[in-house]
Amino acid sequence: MSDSMSLPRVRVATTSLAGCFGCHMSFLDMDERLLELAKVVEFDRSPLTDIKHCGPCDIGLIEGGVCNAENVHVLREFRRNCKTLVAVGACAINGGLPAQRNHLDLGDCLQQVYVKRDGIEEGGVPDDPELPLLLDRVHPIHEVVRVDYFIPGCPPSGDAIWKFLTDLIGGRTPRLPHPLLRFD
Partner 1 sequence: MGGKFLFDGRPVPFEEGQTILQAARAAGHYIPHLCWHPDFPPHGSCKLCVVKVGGRHVSSCALPARDGMEVESNTPEINGERRALLQMLFVEGNHFCPSCEKSGNCQLQALAYELDMSSARFAHFYPDRPVDASHPDVLLDFNRCIFCELCVRASRDVDHKGVFALTGRGIRKHLVVNAESGRLADTDFAVSDRAADICPVGVILRKRVGFAVPIGERKYDEASISSVAMEKGE
Binding footprint of partner 1 on the chain (CB under 8 A): 87, 90, 93-97, 99-100, 102-103, 137, 140, 142-143, 147, 149-152, 154, 175-176, 178-179, 181-184
CB 151 within 8 A of CB 90: no
CB 149 within 8 A of CB 84: yes
Residue 48 vs 158, nearer CB to partner 1: 158
Side-chain-side CA neighbours of residue 155 (13 Å): 22
Residue 84 vs 94, nearer CB to partner 1: 94
Residue 33 vs 142, nearer CB to partner 1: 142
Residue 45 vs 72, nearer CB to partner 1: 72
Residue 14: phi and psi, rounded to 5, are: -135, 150
* Residue 155 CB, nearest approach to partner 1 (Å): 9
CB 140 within 8 A of CB 90: no
Residue 44 vs 99, nearer CB to partner 1: 99
* Residue 19 CB, nearest approach to partner 1 (Å): 12
Q: What gap in Å lies between CA 157 and CA 184, rounded to an integer? A: 10
Contact partners, residue 107, CB within 8 Å, separation at least 6: none
The vertex-98 CA angle with 94 and 101, nearest 5°, equals 105
Cα 116 to Cα 59, 101, 111, 126, distances in angstroms? 44, 17, 6, 14
